[in-house]
Each structure stands twice: as structure tokens, then as C-alpha cells.
Structure 1
Amino acid sequence: MARKYFGTDGIRGMANGEKLTPELAMKVGMAAGTKFVRGDHRNRVVIGKDTRRSGYMLESALAAGFTAVGMDVYFLGPMPTPAVAMLTRSLRADLGVMISASHNPYEDNGIKFFRPDGYKLSDEIEAEIERLIDTDMTKLLAHGMQIGRAHRDEAASTRYIEYAKRTLPRSIDLSGLRVVVDCANGAAYKVAPVALWELGAEVIAIGDEPNGYNINHKVGSTAPEAVSAKVKEVRADIGIALDGDADRVIIIDEKGNVVDGDQFMAVIAHSWLEREMLVGGGIVATIMSNLGLERYLGGLGLTLERTQVGDRYVLETMRNKGFNVGGEQSGHIILSDFTTTGDGLVAALQLLAVLKQQNRPISEICHRFERVPQLLRNVRFKSGKPLDDKHVKQAIADAQSMLGAAGRIVVRPSGTEPVIRVMGEADDAALVENVVGQVEAAILKIA
């Protein structure tokens, strides 16, 4: 059933647009607070945010909703999404909230929730919150001494920094490394440079001067050109580019080249295998990860478990099947020994540990396999469901037959726009171009 407010990752939209308004935020706070008021203790909710100007507005509106139904609110200030998940557990909160639209431009914002165990809410709980939003919530109001209070937690950033530092092996520090970190003018603009410096690195920070409007603007993981240029300028050993809420990371090698997320996962898988930390006999990635990664892991005796695109599907499979490493090409890396969601800083620290241990350039460390030629086309359509058409189905079947067992064709609709994504890969680049073109043409005929 289509949902009215929640999308694939919380509630997101233009701040003060058609959906995401202070009125809705207050109602969301009341509804979510009601679902998580439990027991006879003072219930608490922690609220973090990124650096968008609209975060102040939504933070206040959410707090009004939570306190109105009897929850005490703890403001964390600008804080990465994974830090909010960690602090929800650490502070024994009944609910965690992150106000962020991740890598979107500053005009947008969003609201994400975390359960007391630090994991995101289930579809069922989100549906129940939606149902409550559209009811008369005056019946939910607390009265007298039951009304909640608001506090500001000044120690939150220090707690997260110490937590992140402890994920680095105790025998390793980062002394001697020159590191460029791009904070995207976002949630990690304070904590990421401090954590890296306290671990011993020489840190050059960019994207660390947020003004409420410049989050993700020509900086961060969606614009790696900025960190690439700085790495080459200062001759750094590595560049680390985070996104607006720091749950994603892109690595830049010492030559200024972007390291593919699949190569990043290959390094961590091998490192954790050698350290006897890897659980599940492999890793989890999405259907978009390159065949080269699958073959590399196979050579190590490891498996690649594939999921739908989306970090929530990666995490779900990790939990259900007992893996502790998973991620996406885009840089969402989930290391469940440490986190309950993607954590760009923690993932980067695992790579920095390998860099220190091997004392080789990052360009060598992160070249674990040759990528199999892969081609992605986005085919726009006007209406209907092109993938239900028999001619399109036949074109996809023919494409897979032509690729055989040594190749893949992945065809899926976008979740946010009228686009069909057609991805093909095989060792023969010309063949990939041919089969992707045939599927694209079949879709265009009816689109």
C-alpha cells in the first residue's frame, strides 16, 4: 500500500514545501512519541541534525510534538546519522531522530527515526505512525508534570568521536599520514577532522564551513572533484569525502582518482578475513556491484550475497543471514560489528588501518580486481509500466541469453522518477553495449 508521508528512508521533501512543514513535524513527533512511550520511566528521545538552515525549524517542531506527549528531548546538535543511531543506544533513549536529507541540496530536508537498539523503524511501525498523524491527536497529549522537557547534550560529539576512534585496531595510530577530509559542509564538519587528528593524522579539512545553505554544494561525496584537487595540491596520502549526513564515504587515492565502492569493500573483506573478523563467509552488496568483485571474493573462498538497491536491503540481508560486512557502490558501507547503519568515518578508518599496516599507496591497496565492463542507461518513460510489456520482457530474456552465464542484465524501475535503469555487464564491452541498446530500444518503443 502506498504511504502518504514515509518514503524509502524516512520522510523527505522540500522544507516548507507541500509535505515537510513544521506542522507535519510536530504531528510526527506526537505520533512517533506515542508509539515509543513505554514503561514507568521518563521516556527520552535524542534529536540530531545536519547543517541545513531548516533544521532549526524542524528540530523545534519535533521537540514540541515529543514533549507534548510526555517525552524528554535531548538535542545533539549537528551530528552524523550513524552517531544518532549509536547515541540512541548509548544514552538508553526510547527513540532517535535524525533531521537530514543526506546528499540532497540544502532546500530539502528529512526526518529519520531509530529504535532503541539503533536500527531504523520497520515498515509496520512507520505505517502506524502515519495512521496516528491523520487522527485527532488531542487525546494523546500529556498534562501537568507528565509534559516533557528539552535539554541540550553538550557531550554528544565527544561521545561519538571516542566511539569512532575505538573502532581502529588498538595497535594502530594514523601518525605519518596526510589526510584530506571533505565534510560536505554537513553533519560531520566538527567530529570527522577532530577524530582523525586525535588518532595522529595530519588533517586538511575542506567542506568544514557550513552556513546553512552550502551543504553538498560542490563538495562532499557527490562532488569528489573538490577533494581530488586538494589531495593533489597538498600531496596527501588519501582523501575522504563524506556526504551531508556522513553515512556515506567516497575514497580518493593519492593520485586524485576516485576509488570504486566495490574495491573499497574488497579491501575490507580481505583485511577482515585475515584478521579473522569476517562473519558469514562473504559480504553483502546490491545487484549493481560489479562482477569483478564477485570473482575476486570467489578467489578468496568468499561469497557475494546480492540484494535490491538500497542500504536498508543490504542491512536486512546482513542481519537475516549473519554477515557483518555489506555495502553499495555509492559508498554506504555497513560494518555491523560497530554500527547499525552506514558510517562513513568508521568505514574510512578501517581502510586507513590497512594503509598503515601495508605501507603502500592507496592506489595499490584499492586495486584488488579489474572491473568487468559495465554499462548503465537510464530510459525515461511517460506513463504506464514498461516492464510489464511482453516485448520488453522478451528483449530482457534475449539479452540475458546473449550474455550467458558470464554476464548480467539488470533492469529495474527507479523509485523516485519515471525512469527504467538498464545495466549490463560482461567481459565483452561491445556485447554489453549491444544488449543494453536492445533493451533500451524495446522500452523506448512503448514509452
Structure 2
Amino acid sequence: MQQSGVAFGTSGARGLVTAMTDRVCYAYTTGFLQFLIEDEAWQPGGRVALAGDLRPSTPRILAACAEAIRDAGGEPVFCGFVPTPALADWAFARGIPSLMVTGSHIPDDRNGIKFYRPHGEILKADEPGITRQVVDLDRTRWTAEGMLDAPRPLPEITPIGAGYVARYVDFFGDTALQGRRIGVYQHSAVGRDVLVEILTALGATVTPLGRAERFIPVDTEAVRAEDIALARNWAERHGFDAIASTDGDSDRPLLADHTGEWLRGDVLGVLCARALGLSSVVTPVSSNTLVEKCGAFARVHRTRIGSPFVIAAMDAALANGEGAVGGYEANGGFLLASPLDRAGRRLGALPTRDAVLPIVAALVAAGSGTLRELLDGLPPRVTFSDRIEAFVPERRDALMVWLLPEDEAARHVHLDAAFAPVAGAGLTAIDLTDGVRLTFANARVIHLRGSGNAPELRCYTEAEDQGAAQELNRAALEVVATVV
């Protein structure tokens, strides 16, 4: 961990492909399994499911992970190249650990391994137990570059896609989207074909779009200008009711209305939670405040950014007897903590990010109307996010020092002077739950946070309309650029 440059956290191990040698990936997988043995959550001889996304480096990393599973006494079950939530759902149902080789939405010069316990994600409490593992490696098996001399081929694929399709068709019904014309922006998403299959099985007429042979880093929180243009052009040309897509490992959704405008993930999360009839909703502090303002939920809980924090709060809500519980992140990934029953049909809990549920739930809720009509029924609150790339940790740390003087009284005066002019009103609240979130007297919000997955600074802004949110974001990042 100290030498490779491949960091470990609740998103798993992530780093540059050049740093993620076979030796590093083998060691991380072995350490994960040693932790499960120590925690009595898995024993040698048991199965471990694995799958991957469509990055060029993924098959090699999968082979190194499978080798580690075999050497730990386990049986690797290769589920192919499928969405992360499909793998998790299949493995949870069988009570076996799993791992997904994916870098999610980040460029393909990077990759990662996401680890799952037999019944859920790795949480913050698991990290120390994994990171303190000591792994002994047989030095005779490795080249000087840290690559396996003779990795064995991956096992034959165990197909799991049919169960993932059935999850949604069995609950919503095969006519749920009858008469709807939906485009699917496929790009290089690992779930590009299964999403088409699910929407078709629900009765929609589906047109695949934009399939790519090279990896495209689609980020649902910072949609690229070219993807905005593509959606608008497709909508105008084809007259779709909606356009759907996902990020690289298909756990974060993108959904555009009939005009080709992509919905923000935290807005889509509200539409999904409301359509499912949830009573308690958990979402990170970065999400749009319309979840509280819409009045649809008995309780709303705010957390730090990251699915482990959302899951921990969902577990607490379940323990507190808060009824049907779910959560979502600003990227749109939806987590379902409670099984749902409707008209004799059941949707099982899936407490990890999923892209399909919010897409389908919102489309079904729209009925014969439009997504725009659903949006018009929400409070007029719009979020926008952007980022400064190549924002190295040293620069992030310098920004935090500048943002947060030690004296709290001086801190408020300092931040008000720096950001009130761009917000158009005085600063009323500072929230340090995750990063620095500033709320102003006109209800506008500026939230600055260093990314945990990549060397970049995220800026989230909220305002009364799209233009104001976007301009506020630009101005806030301009302030940052002048000081660090």
C-alpha cells in the first residue's frame, strides 16, 4: 500500500493501471480474503464471485484476482462482464463474497477492485481490518515488473444477467413501459446490453445509440459537453420519450427527458424514492435540498459522501423502525434497504448503488406523461457540479487551510467575504460534514470537496434555476483558482 501508489478505501483499491500490477492486485485480493477468514465471514473452500467492466486492463486484473482466490483455497466464480449491482445482487443472494474489477467513471488509464462482503458492501469499520493484513507472496512466481509468470485462465463464465433482468420485470411487470420510445446511450458501459434487455422486457421500444469500442469515462455528476449535445441531437432526431444510460460499471444512472436534457442524479433519486413510496430517505450532504422541500418523506437523513455512509445510516433507520428505507447519492446511484411489496410482487433489497432502479421507477411514474411533468411538480431547486482536474492532494490541503481558519468566528467572516459576492447574499451556515458546504441567505449553496476517487476538486452548487447554479459554480471555482 505504501509503495504501489494504489490506495485503498471504501471504494476498494484504485490506482493507475501501470501501478496495478498483478502482484498488487493479487495482494489486495488475498488481504481481503484473509480479513473475511479472520472475521469468520468466509472459509477456504468457499466460492468468491468476480466480474469486471470493459476497460482494456480489466481481464488481466481479473486473472490476477482469480489466482489469489485459488491460492487462498477458494473457488473463483467468474460472472463475466456485467454491472456491479448485478454481481452484488447475485452474490448477496448466495451469501458469498464478491469483487468487481472497475474504475467506475474515471478514465481508463486507471482501474480498481471493489470488494463486497457476503451480504453487503465493505463499510468504514472494515477498512482497518483489511489494511492491516500481512500477505506473504511466493517470490518465484513474479517477474521483476510484478506480473504473474503464468497466470491460469479465468473460469468459464457463469451467466447471471437473466436474474438481474427478472428483478425488474417481475416487480414492475412486462407492460410497465408499453408504448414508450426510449433511446439507450450505450458508449462503453458494461451494462449497455442488459439495460436494453430490461427496458425492452418492460414493454418499451428501445433504440441503442452511441456504442463505442474504446472506453469513454462518462461521469454522471459531471456530464461531458459532448454527451449533453448527443442527447439533445438524438431527442430531436428520434422523438424519444427518454434517453437512458449509465457510467462505466453501470451502477450510476443517466436519464434524459424528451428534450434530451439529462436529469441530475439527486433529482432522479427523489423521483425514484417518491415513486417507490419510501418513508425514510438517506442521502449525502451534497444532494439537492429538494428532498426535504418536496415534503414526500417522513424522514430525511444526511451523511458524508460515499455509499458506506449511506448504508450505515440506512441500517440505523431500519433499526429505528422507520418503515420503507432507501437512499441515493448525488451521482444517481440508488440503494434499497427494504424489500418492497406491491400488488403481490416483491422487489428485494439491494443495499448497493444501482442504476436500473431509478431509471425504471421514474419512467414508470411518468406513465403516459413526460419526465418533464414530474420535474415540474418538484420545488424549483437546481444543482450543478463541476471539477478542477489534476487537483493534487497538496493543493487540496492548501485549499482546506485557506478555507478554514482555526478561529471559528474568523472563519465565518473570511468565507462570507470570499463567497458572498458570488452568491449574491450573506453566508448563513457552514457545514463541514464532508468538505466545506456553504449556505447563503438566498438559499444558494456552494459545496467544495476533494474527490476520494481521483485527484480532482469537486464543486457542487445549488440555486433557483439552471443558469444561476451553473454561474455560481463557475464563479466559486474561479475564487478557488485565485487562491491555490
TM-score band, normalised by shorter chain: 0.7 to 0.9
Q: Distance in 2 between matches of 1:235 and 1:432?
A: 27
Quick one: structure 1 residues 162 and 67, their matched pair in 2 at CA, closer, same or farther if it must change by over 3 Å? same
- How big is the shift at 1:227? 3.6
Quick one: structure 1 residues 227 and 434, their matched pair in 2 at CA, closer, same or farther if it must change by over 3 Å? closer
Of 279, 286, 289 in structure 2, the residue corresponding to residue 288 of structure 1 is 286
Which residue identity lines up with residue 132 of structure 2 in the other structure? R
Q: Distance in 2 between matches of 1:183 and 1:420?
A: 26
Q: Distance in 1 between matches of 2:233 and 2:463?
A: 31
Q: Distance in 2 between matches of 1:137 and 1:344?
A: 38
8 A contact 1:98–1:111 mirrored in 2 = yes
Calculate percent identity across the aligned residue pairs.
21
Which residue identity lines up with residue 12 of structure 1 in the other structure? R
Correspondences of 1:233-272 after superposition (within 5 Å): 233-272=237-276
Correspondences of 1:37-186 after superposition (within 5 Å): 37=37, 42-93=45-96, 95-117=97-119, 119-132=120-133, 134-137=134-137, 151-168=155-172, 170=173, 172-186=175-189
Which residue identity lines up with residue 9 of structure 1 in the other structure? S
Q: Distance in 1 between matches of 2:155 and 2:476?
A: 59
- How big is the shift at 1:122? 2.5
Which residue identity lines up with residue 311 of structure 1 in the other structure? S
1:371 pairs with 2:380: yes
Q: Return the TM-score normalized by structure 1.
A: 0.80
Quote the residue 2:427 is aligned against.
400
Quick one: structure 1 residues 393 and 122, their matched pair in 2 at CA, closer, same or farther if it must change by over 3 Å? same
8 A contact 2:285–2:305 mirrored in 1 = yes
Q: What do residues 44-96 of structure 1 show as CA deviations (whole Å, max 9, x unaligned)? A: 10001011111110010001111001010000111101111101122332x11
Quick one: structure 1 residues 318 and 215, their matched pair in 2 at CA, closer, same or farther if it must change by over 3 Å? same
Quote the residue 1:144 is aligned against.
none
Q: Distance in 2 between matches of 1:105 and 1:445?
A: 27
Quick one: structure 1 residues 422 and 62, their matched pair in 2 at CA, closer, same or farther if it must change by over 3 Å? closer
Q: Distance in 2 between matches of 1:430 and 1:186?
A: 32
Which residue identity lines up with residue 388 of structure 1 in the other structure? L
Quote the residue 2:346 is aligned against.
none
Which residue identity lines up with residue 407 of structure 1 in the other structure? A
User: SS of 1:348's equivalent?
Assistant: helix
Quote the residue 2:359 is aligned against.
348
8 A contact 1:183–1:243 mirrored in 2 = no
Q: Distance in 2 between matches of 1:420 and 1:105?
A: 16
- How big is the shift at 1:164? 3.2
Of 191, 200, 206 in structure 2, the residue corresponding to residue 197 of structure 1 is 200
Q: Tell me, which stretches of 5 or more residues in structure 2 are unaligned?
A: 140-151, 319-323, 340-348, 418-425, 430-438
Quick one: structure 1 residues 87 and 364, their matched pair in 2 at CA, closer, same or farther if it must change by over 3 Å? same
Quote the residue 1:34 is aligned against.
34
Q: Distance in 1 between matches of 2:297 and 2:257?
A: 27
Quick one: structure 1 residues 11 and 364, their matched pair in 2 at CA, closer, same or farther if it must change by over 3 Å? same
Quick one: structure 1 residues 177 and 438, their matched pair in 2 at CA, closer, same or farther if it must change by over 3 Å? closer
Q: What do residues 324-371 of structure 1 show as CA deviations (whole Å, max 9, x unaligned)? A: 232233222223333121111122111122133xx1122212322243
Q: Distance in 1 between matches of 2:228 and 2:477?
A: 32
- How big is the shift at 1:200? 1.8
Correspondences of 1:9-20 after superposition (within 5 Å): 9-15=11-17, 17-18=18-19, 20=20
Q: Tell me, which stretches of 5 or more residues in structure 1 are unaligned?
A: 140-147
Quote the residue 2:342 is aligned against.
none
- How big is the shift at 1:414? 0.9
- How big is the shift at 1:120? 1.4
Quick one: structure 1 residues 153 and 196, their matched pair in 2 at CA, closer, same or farther if it must change by over 3 Å? same
Of 414, 421, 425 in structure 1, the residue corresponding to residue 450 of structure 2 is 414
Q: Distance in 2 between matches of 1:433 and 1:217?
A: 23
8 A contact 1:406–1:426 mirrored in 2 = no
Q: Distance in 2 between matches of 1:56 and 1:9?
A: 19
Q: Distance in 2 between matches of 1:214 and 1:350?
A: 28
Quick one: structure 1 residues 125 and 412, their matched pair in 2 at CA, closer, same or farther if it must change by over 3 Å? same
8 A contact 1:180–1:240 mirrored in 2 = yes
CA RMSD of superposed structures (Å): 3.8
Quick one: structure 1 residues 251 and 111, their matched pair in 2 at CA, closer, same or farther if it must change by over 3 Å? same
Q: What do residues 188-237 of structure 1 show as CA deviations (whole Å, max 9, x unaligned)? A: 0221111221222111112445x3x3343799965343344223321111
Q: Distance in 2 between matches of 1:392 and 1:426?
A: 26
Correspondences of 1:325-336 after superposition (within 5 Å): 325-336=326-337
Quick one: structure 1 residues 40 and 243, their matched pair in 2 at CA, closer, same or farther if it must change by over 3 Å? closer
